[in-house]
Amino acid sequence: MVARLTPYQVMERLVSFPTVSRDSNLLLVDWVEEYLAGHGIPAHRHYNETGEKAAIFAHAGPEVAGGVVLSGHTDVVPVDGQPWTSDPFSVVERDGKYYGRGCCDMKGFDALAIWALVEAHHRGVARPLQLALSYDEEIGCTGAPPMIERMLEVLPRADVAIIGEPSMMQAVTGHKGGLGYDVRAVGFEVHSSIMHRGVNAIMAAAPLIDWANACNAENRARRPSDLAAMFEPPWTTLHVGTIAGGTAHNITAKECRFGMDFRIVPGEEPEEWGARFLAEVAQAEAAMQAVHPDTRIEVTPKFVVPGLKPEANGAAEALVRQLTGDNGSHVVSYGTEAGQFQERGYSTVICGPGDIAQAHQPDEYMTVEQFEAGHDFMRALLERLGRA
C-alpha cells in the first residue's frame, strides 16, 4: 500500500502536470489511477475520441445507490504570455497563498476530493462517495457528458453531485447556460475600387456582430424574470471576443473568422438562441451569394452548456448548507459542468474553495485559508457519510 498523501501533497502532484486543454491529460490520469489503486480503489476511465485525453472516476464505500459525487476537471488554461513570478506548474507558498496554475481552478479542489475518497475507503462509510474528474471543461464543458453517461453505466447511481468550482465555499445553486459557435465567412476578392463586384467577408459578417449588439441592448432593456434577476447581469449576453480576416486594405476580404458566444439566463433555451443566430446567418449568406455564388458562411458549433437551475428542496443544496453553515442565495454567470449533472438527474450544487476572480490569471492562487476551509468541508462530509 502506498502512503496516504495530504491534500497539499496531492495538489502538488496535480499541478505538476501541465494539463492545458490543448494537450493530453493522460499523465495526470495515470498518476491518479495508480495512487487510488495503491489504496485498493479501482478507477475507471473514459477516453475522448482521439484517445489523447481521459476522464477518470471511482467509487468508495458500499456498492449501493444514493451516494455523493465530488466533481472536478483536470484541464487548465494556458500560461502563454502571462507574467508569472514563479513556475506555474509548481505549487509555491508565499504570503498565505498557494500559487500555481490550477491551484484555484480547480486542482486544489481535485486534490481535496482525491484525499476524501481515499479517506472514505480506509475509514469506511455508510453512504458511498464518488470521484469524477473530467477533461475539456475549459473549452466548453465537452468532456463531462460522456463521462457522466459512463459513470451511470459502471457505478451505483449517486443522488448528489458537488461541483467544486471556486465559490469561496458558498453554496451556488444557479448559473447561466452557454452556447458557442466558430464562424467563418468566405467572400470573393476584388480590388477595393470595384468592391461592388466582390464580397468583403469582414463587411458581410459585420451585420451578425451588429445583431449581437442589438440583442444585448434589447435584453438589457427588458424586465428580467425573477430567476434572471438573481444574476449579474440579469440578461442573456452575446459576445464576440476574437475576430480575424482580410489580406490588405485595398482588397475585399476573402475570409473573416470570429467566435459567437452566448451566456444564457435560466428560463431561456440555448436551442432557441441558436436557431435565431442561424436564421441571421442564413440571411447574411443569402446577401453574399446574391453578389457571387461562391461565397458562404460556415458555422461550427463549439459547445452547448446547460444552465444550473435552483432546485426546490434540493438535496445537494441542503447537504452543503448543513456542512458549511452558508444560508445565503448565490448564483454565478460563468458556466460549469453542474448543469450537465443536473440534466442527468443528480441533485447538484457548486461549492469549492477559492475565488473565481483568481482563475485564469497570471500568478493564479488559492489562499491557504480557503484550502483549509475546503479540507474542513471534506472532513465534515466524511463524518456525515460515515453515519448516513
pLDDT tens-digit map of 285-323: 999 999 999 999 999 999 999 999 999 999 999 999 999
Distances, alpha carbon 157 to alpha carbons 42, 152, 154, 173, 289, in Å:
17, 6, 9, 21, 52
pLDDT category of residue 157 using cuts at 50, 70 and 90: very high
What is the C-alpha separation between 184 and 253, in angstroms, rounded? 12
The reported pTM is: 0.91
Q: Note the pLDDT of residue 360.
A: 96
Q: How far apart are CA 288 and CA 213, in angstroms?
A: 21
What single DSSP character describes residue 193? G
Residue 329 is predicted with a pLDDT of: 87
Give φ, ψ of 205 to 5 degrees. -80, -20
C-alpha count within 13 angstroms, C-beta hemisphere, residue 257: 5
Per-residue pLDDT for 388 more than 70? Answer: no
pLDDT at 158 over 90: yes
pLDDT of residue 387: 87
If we measure between CA atoms, which residue out of 345, 362, 346, 364 comes closest to residue 354? Answer: 364
Catalytically active residues, by annotation:
75, 137
Separation between Cα atoms, residue 138 and residue 143, nearest integer Å: 10
pLDDT of residue 337: 97
Mean pLDDT, to the nearest integer, of 21-25?
97
Question: How sure is the predictor about 1, in pLDDT bands with cuts at 50, 70 and 90?
Answer: low
Give the closest residue to 350 by CA, choosing from 229, 175, 228. Answer: 175
H/E stretch holding 113: helix 107-123
pLDDT by residue (tens digit) across 221-242?
999 999 899 999 999 999 999 9
Residue type, 297: I
| Lowest model confidence (mean pLDDT) among 229-233, 275-279, 366-370, 376-380 | 229-233
For every residue of 8-41, DSSP letters joined together read HHHHHHHHTS--BTTS--HHHHHHHHHHHHHTT-
Domains belonging to the chain, first-starting first, are: 7-174+307-386 (3.40.630.10), 177-305 (3.30.70.360)
Across the chain, mean pLDDT equals: 96
Give the chain's length. 388
How far apart (Å, rounded) are the C-alpha atoms in residues 291 and 283? 13
The average pLDDT across 72-88 equals 97
**What does residue 359 show for φ and ψ, rounded to 5 degrees?**
-65, 140
pLDDT score of 334: 86
Q: Which amino acid is at 120?
A: A
The helix (H) or strand (E) run that includes residue 83 is: none
The helix/strand/coil state of 363 is coil
Amino acid in the structure at residue 262: F
Write out the three cell numbers for 28.
Answer: 495526470
pLDDT for the residue numbered 293: 97
Mean pLDDT across the stretch 241-260?
97
Rounded average pLDDT over 119-127: 97
The Cα diameter of the chain in Å comes to 79
**Contacts of 323 by beta carbon, 8 Å cutoff, 6+ apart:** 377, 380, 381, 384
